[in-house]
A and B are shown apart, each in its own frame.
Chain A
Amino acid sequence: MIPAGFEYHRPSDIAGAVSILQEHGDEARVIAGGHSLIPMMKLRMADMGHLIDLQDIDALKGIEIGSDVVTIGAMVTQHELITHEGLSNAVPLIKEAALLIADPQVRYMGTVGGNVANGDPGNDMPGLMQCLNAHFELSGPDGGRTVAAREFYEAAYFTARDDEEILTRISIPVPAGGTGYAYEKQKRKIGDYATAAAAVMIGGGTASVAMTNLADTPIWSEEAGAALAAGDVDGCVSAMMGAIDPVADNRGPIEFKKHVAAVILRRAIARAQSRAS
């Protein structure tokens, strides 16, 4: 558990970070909270010559609550997501999900940007962001662009982000009043990735459903959301079951995961429905 050697960089603005990325190409990686990257480096499964620490970049911090949209800086920690009162009022689903991520110590360090940008299918935030229809702001050598969370994930650890881009902020539409929500997660212990997890929003004649760790990317299904919006729970579950593609691991075989996925999804739907008004 000893990482290979690397150069440590600590730029104070986004442009500085991007220019280091440009200079070193795939030899360089940005580090946010480090809870995915550092273990990979210690296992020598990630080996890069240059590590760019983002913690001194103020532009990546802070949560802003607008009337229609909230924006969250990439370096905002899970702990800040949980304790930010305005965010809890505007998008309560985020707090509910963040409380099920890792443990309190990890949440003090782990960031929302790292969680969504890494492309790890085990992370909770990508599915959650798809459910919320979040958009990710990326900054690169050619300036900025925005990519929808629902179009960001390509495969495990592969995303729409280019090697020379940094994910800087996340914008999330504020759900209409009376929207029901729920995040349901089954895990073996605190700190574990999900055996199955589901994010559900219902309200104002629409619905959105996403699931985590049941394929090599998060799964958001338009068909499932439409069925649920129409009040067809079985149709919603059936659509999601058709969309997920879990693999066997120490949590259990595929058959088990599919069964649990449906159970968890139904529970999330029931809770979201009970909260909708």
Chain B
Amino acid sequence: MNDMTPTPEERAANLKGMGCARKRVEDVRFTQGRGNYVDDIKLDGMLFGDFVRSPYAHARVVSINAEEAMKVPGVVAVITAADLEPLGLHWMPTLAGDKQMVLADGKVLFQGQEVAFVVAEDRYAAADAVELVEVEYEELPVIVDPFEALKSDVVLREDTVDENGKATDGAHGPRNHPNHIFTWEQGDEAATDAVMAEAEVVAEETMYYHRTHPCPLETCGSVASMDKVTGKLTLWGTFQAPHAIRTVVSLISGIEEHNIRVISPDIGGGFGNKVGAYSGYVCSVVASIVTGRPVKWVEDRMENLMTTAFARDYWMSGKISATKEGKITGLHCHVTADHGGFDACADPTKFPAGFMNICTGSYDIPTAYLAVDGVYTNKAPGGVSYRCSFRVTEAVYFIERMIEVLAIKLNMDAAELRRINFIKKEQFPYQSALGWEYDSGDYHTAWDKAMEAVDYQGLRAEQAQRIEDFKAGKTRSLMGIGLTFFTEIVGAGPVKNCDILGLGMFDSCEIRIHPTGSAIARLGTISQGQGHATTFAQILATEIGLPADSITIEEGDTDTAPYGLGTYGSRSTPVAGAATAMAGRKIRAKAQMIAAYLLEVHDDDVEFDVDRFVVKGAPERFKTMKEIAFAAYNQAIPGIEPGLEAVSYYDPPNMTYPFGAYVCVMDIDVDTGVPEIRRFYALDDCGTRINPMIIEGQIHGGLTEALAVALGQEIAYDEMGNVKTGTLMDFFLPTSWEVPNYETDYTVTPSPHHPIGAKGVGESPHVGGVPCFSNAVHDAFRAFGLTQTNMPHDHWRIWKTANELGLHG
């Protein structure tokens, strides 16, 4: 007899659940031009807003005259801080506990700062009028160096000093200078100093992690529509956290939260740039309230690069101590953090330097101390997590450079130095010296796999030969082998210590199963390209036994989705993904009771089997989830409410700690400074793998942004505070031409506390990639005496390194 009954494996494959390389369902729309982004929104009577921006980095605003601008046909209004002040909206709170001018209130603190908002019938009229707004400025001394800011008599922020000019306390405690924002300390300073004093070997280094920018393909924008009849405000925008934005809008505008609907439509990349609140959002709302018409604001590329949230800008000084054999005994780190004119970092409230205290990395370092000083300067505000959890790229860069520096000091192989200091598998959960509990890891297995995959010893032999050839004048090319082992900390986070503006960093999922066995699930997160509609359906498919293709995922509309803190810091899978699994399990629990009723057995006598409940010991007696779904709507089941829905709000017990081992092989043209990436191997352990294809895509994207940051991407200022890299001609955004072939690999160490063991992966390649590319550059010159040279490693800086080492003859 030909048995046509599908096997459990065939039924599982049909679901396209976890582990399936399911094609992204979003791409059908995106590849056919059917996406719906903020700038695609067109409403009847819609007006357009555009900013008058400061050409100066520091100046007093003496006067603003909009008379000529108002004469441009189509101009409706020119809004200044004076107009916003009666509403209390001329300043707004930042996510970091500071406040920020919405429009210049008497002075400007960075080039490009918003001075006035022109509202007009079309974009052209608005742009013409912007040119005609006459602003009189009185230039003030400009400070672009945070060290100078801490010594200067120039008070950048007059609102942060008392009548005697003394710094008042800030959101994170006492401040020691008017231009100082906070000091944040972790670990044991005295114990660390003692370890350093007694250590056999101490390596010291100072490094600058330059300022850069997330530069998403779609810039920031919003459309506000105030319905004066219903009193309801609808706000579309490029928001990575729509629910938090709704709460913030309510708090600062006084509009009750139920009268605000925030919608994040399709978002063309965020990378941290779209977490915070911008003047454009506030001004579009105010303009819509004032005019009674919808108002759109969309920034251009230069505005995005010059004024919306930057990333990094950390001056890091480190000391690392070890035994002569290379066993690390202590780590000391001090950071001077340049925050620009306002502290607009997007970090959990209690973490003004984010999770910089993950800077002990993947190593068993018993004693450590970290201090971070935040500083105001005349640069754009921000300090967001660019494709990383809060300040984790900075932390990983710091420790992965310090390991290399220590290896040089010890005259040791950097791979071996890492190996002998890794936290061992049996030490997990591991309590770090700076306060984290690493949930799981198997670093040695991953490292050994990586070293074998790239034939590490063979590479070193080839490099030795190259050095010999170079010294003999046979080649002008050097070879660098970049190593990195990173541990991330993502999935913020437990409500007990993670909040933003007092909002706990849980996340949520609500599921409705339809009578015919399909479903819709809504989450508190919002995809910006991560593929949530694909992967969250896969989690549910496995959890509830309905095909992923029959499950719609919806996010971003605060009127329909459950409250959540949004998508950044690789938190969607660790937090909302967990909520999804937990909500799915609630569905399954009810389905089990329905199945038992239908099968006329006790609840405990049925068990879940891929896409059905079967009677234990009698698998031929079963009810599929599809049948159960229908029964939920058409059967009167004693003791069970009709319908099949569930909601889960998930407060994670801990962060998750993805890790990985990366190797970069680079050839460097000593005479031109041009690096050529010959090979890049990336092993990632993100725990349970939901969709291998999406993981692969995320790793390629993150590595490419890492390449950008390491090799050229920066927001550079001149001494007058002018942005030198305000267009894509100078701001390095790699294309397919600059990107090498990536080899990806993996190990799987599931998170023990996450319902499905997943850890998050979107940011790992960026976090691990930056130090790997940078270490490759450093390694190429190690034999010639280089210890440290700062990023970005563009042609000129690499050439300069070679030149300073005397390699140009």
Instruction: Provide the residues of chain A in CB contact with B671, threshold 8 Å.
Output: 259-260, 263
The verdict on A188 contacting B795 (CB below 8 Å), with A1-B300, A264-B672 known, is: yes
Taking the nearest CB of chain B, how far is it from the CB of A31, in angstroms?
18
| B301 partner, pick from A1, A188, A256, beta carbons under 8 A | A1
Give the docked Cα–Cα distance between A273 and B206 (Å).
Answer: 47
Chain A binder among B395-403, B554-562, B732-740: B732-740
Query: Sorted from nearest, which 4 A-B pairs have the closest CB atoms?
Result: A252-B796, A2-B127, A1-B300, A190-B737
B796 close to A186 (CB less than 8 A):
no
Q: Does B281 contact A (CB under 8 A)?
A: no
Q: Does B674 contact A (CB under 8 A)?
A: yes
A188 close to B127 (CB less than 8 A):
no
Taking the nearest CB of chain A, how far is it from the CB of B718, in angstroms?
11
Instruction: Provide the residues of chain B in CB contact with A192, threshold 8 Å.
Output: 729
Given contacts A2-B123, A188-B795, A250-B716, 7 further A-B contacts (CB under 8 A): A4-B127, A4-B128, A103-B735, A189-B737, A250-B724, A256-B796, A259-B799
Q: Does B371 contact A (CB under 8 A)?
A: no
Q: Does B124 contact A (CB under 8 A)?
A: yes
Q: Does B131 contact A (CB under 8 A)?
A: yes
Taking the nearest CB of chain B, how far is it from the CB of A189, in angstroms?
5
Instruction: Provide the residues of chain A in CB contact with B302, threshold 8 Å.
Output: 1
Give the docked Cα–Cα distance between A57 and B211 (Å).
Answer: 48
Give the docked Cα–Cα distance between A144 and B802 (Å).
Answer: 53
Of all chain B residues, the one with the shortest Cβ separation from A257 is B796
A188 close to B735 (CB less than 8 A):
no
B735 close to A191 (CB less than 8 A):
yes
A259 close to B724 (CB less than 8 A):
no
Q: Does A44 contact B (CB under 8 A)?
A: yes
| B645-673 vs A, Cβ < 8 Å mask (1 yes, 0 no) | 00000000000000000000000000111
Give the docked Cα–Cα distance between A103 and B734 (Å).
Answer: 12
Q: Does B696 contact A (CB under 8 A)?
A: no
Q: Does B808 contact A (CB under 8 A)?
A: yes
Give the docked Cα–Cα distance between A195 and B794 (Å).
Answer: 12
Q: Which residues in window 174-194 of A have CB below 8 A to B?
A: 186, 188-193
Instruction: Provide the residues of chain B in CB contact with A256, threshold 8 Å.
Output: 673, 795-796, 799-800
Instruction: Provide the residues of chain A in CB contact with B724, threshold 8 Å.
Output: 250
Q: Does A5 contact B (CB under 8 A)?
A: yes
Instruction: Provide the residues of chain A in CB contact with B242, threshold 8 Å.
Output: none
Instruction: Provide the residues of chain A in CB contact with B126, threshold 8 Å.
Output: 2
| B730 partner, pick from A195, A250, A260, A263, beta carbons under 8 A | A250
Give the docked Cα–Cα distance between A191 and B736 (Å).
Answer: 12
Instruction: Provide the residues of chain A in CB contact with B787, threshold 8 Å.
Output: none
Give the docked Cα–Cα distance between A259 and B674 (Å).
Answer: 13
Q: Does A66 contact B (CB under 8 A)?
A: no
Most chain A CB neighbours (cut-off 10 Å) among B712, B735, B799, B800: B799
Taking the nearest CB of chain B, how far is it from the CB of A123, in angstroms?
13
Instruction: Provide the residues of chain A in CB contact with B131, threshold 8 Å.
Output: 4, 44
Instruction: Provide the residues of chain B in CB contact with A189, threshold 8 Å.
Output: 712, 732, 734-735, 737-738
Instruction: Provide the residues of chain A in CB contact with B803, threshold 8 Å.
Output: 259
Instruction: Provide the residues of chain A in CB contact with B518, threshold 8 Å.
Output: none
A186 close to B799 (CB less than 8 A):
no
Q: Which residues in window 87-106 of B have CB below 8 A to A?
A: none
Q: Does A253 contact B (CB under 8 A)?
A: yes
Give the docked Cα–Cα distance between A103 and B738 (Å).
Answer: 12
Can you give 23 contacting A-B residue pairs, CB < 8 Å? A1-B301, A1-B302, A4-B131, A103-B735, A188-B794, A188-B795, A189-B732, A189-B734, A189-B737, A190-B735, A191-B735, A193-B729, A195-B795, A250-B724, A252-B795, A252-B796, A252-B799, A256-B795, A259-B671, A260-B671, A260-B673, A260-B795, A263-B672
A-side interface residues, number (CB < 8 Å): 23
The verdict on A250 contacting B734 (CB below 8 Å), with A2-B123, A44-B131 known, is: no
Give the docked Cα–Cα distance between A4 and B123 (Å).
Answer: 11
Q: Does B725 contact A (CB under 8 A)?
A: yes
B808 close to A259 (CB less than 8 A):
yes
Instruction: Provide the residues of chain A in CB contact with B738, threshold 8 Å.
Output: 189-190
Of all chain B residues, the one with the shortest Cβ separation from A260 is B672
Taking the nearest CB of chain B, how far is it from the CB of A192, in angstroms?
7
Give the docked Cα–Cα distance between A191 and B808 (Å).
Answer: 29
Give the docked Cα–Cα distance between A190 and B131 (Å).
Answer: 33
Give the docked Cα–Cα distance between A63 and B16 (Å).
Answer: 56
Q: Does A251 contact B (CB under 8 A)?
A: yes
Give the docked Cα–Cα distance between A188 and B672 (Å).
Answer: 11
Give the docked Cα–Cα distance between A44 and B738 (Å).
Answer: 31
Give the docked Cα–Cα distance between A189 and B712 (Å).
Answer: 10
| A5 partner, pick from B50, B124, B734, beta carbons under 8 A | B124
The verdict on A186 contacting B300 (CB below 8 Å), with A2-B127, A264-B672 known, is: no
A253 close to B796 (CB less than 8 A):
yes
B808 close to A188 (CB less than 8 A):
no
Give the docked Cα–Cα distance between A1 and B126 (Å).
Answer: 12
Taking the nearest CB of chain B, how far is it from the CB of A184, in angstroms?
10
Give the docked Cα–Cα distance between A4 and B712 (Å).
Answer: 33
B672 close to A251 (CB less than 8 A):
no
Of all chain A residues, the one with the shortest Cβ separation from B123 is A2
Q: Which residues in window 34-74 of A have CB below 8 A to B?
A: 44
Taking the nearest CB of chain B, how far is it from the CB of A191, in angstroms?
7
Taking the nearest CB of chain A, how far is it from the CB of B723, in angstroms?
11
Taking the nearest CB of chain B, how far is it from the CB of A230, in angstroms?
25
Most chain B CB neighbours (cut-off 10 Å) among A2, A5, A190, A252: A2
Instruction: Provide the residues of chain B in CB contact with A44, threshold 8 Å.
Output: 131
Instruction: Provide the residues of chain B in CB contact with A4, threshold 8 Å.
Output: 127-128, 131
Taking the nearest CB of chain A, how far is it from the CB of B790, in angstroms?
15
Q: Which residues in window 285-338 of B have CB below 8 A to A?
A: 300-302
Taking the nearest CB of chain A, how far is it from the CB of B68, in angstroms?
15
Most chain A CB neighbours (cut-off 10 Å) among B674, B729, B738: B729
Q: Which residues in window 690-714 of B have CB below 8 A to A?
A: 712
A250 close to B808 (CB less than 8 A):
no
Of all chain A residues, the one with the shortest Cβ separation from B737 is A190
Give the docked Cα–Cα distance between A189 and B794 (Å).
Answer: 10
| B765-809 vs A, Cβ < 8 Å mask (1 yes, 0 no) | 000000000000000000000000000001110011001000010
The verdict on A186 contacting B735 (CB below 8 Å), with A1-B301, A195-B795 known, is: no
Give the docked Cα–Cα distance between A264 and B795 (Å).
Answer: 14
Instruction: Provide the residues of chain B in CB contact with A264, threshold 8 Å.
Output: 672
Taking the nearest CB of chain A, how far is it from the CB of B440, in angstroms?
40
| B796 partner, pick from A1, A190, A251, beta carbons under 8 A | A251
Give the docked Cα–Cα distance between A2 and B50 (Å).
Answer: 10
B799 close to A188 (CB less than 8 A):
no
Q: Which residues in window 113-162 of B have CB below 8 A to A?
A: 123-124, 126-128, 131
Taking the nearest CB of chain B, how far is it from the CB of A244, in angstroms?
16
Most chain A CB neighbours (cut-off 10 Å) among B127, B673, B674, B796: B796
The verdict on A188 contacting B732 (CB below 8 Å), with A2-B123, A252-B796, A263-B671 known, is: yes
Instruction: Provide the residues of chain B in CB contact with A191, threshold 8 Å.
Output: 735
Of all chain A residues, the one with the shortest Cβ separation from B712 is A188
Of all chain A residues, the one with the shortest Cβ separation from B127 is A2
Q: Which residues in window 725-778 of B have CB below 8 A to A?
A: 725, 729-730, 732, 734-735, 737-738
Taking the nearest CB of chain B, how far is it from the CB of A76, in angstroms?
24
A186 close to B123 (CB less than 8 A):
no
Instruction: Provide the residues of chain B in CB contact with A259, threshold 8 Å.
Output: 671, 799, 803, 808
Most chain A CB neighbours (cut-off 10 Å) among B730, B734, B808: B730
Give the docked Cα–Cα distance between A1 and B306 (Å).
Answer: 14
Taking the nearest CB of chain A, how far is it from the CB of B420, in angstroms?
39
Give the docked Cα–Cα distance between A50 and B808 (Å).
Answer: 52
Instruction: Provide the residues of chain A in CB contact with B799, threshold 8 Å.
Output: 252, 256, 259-260
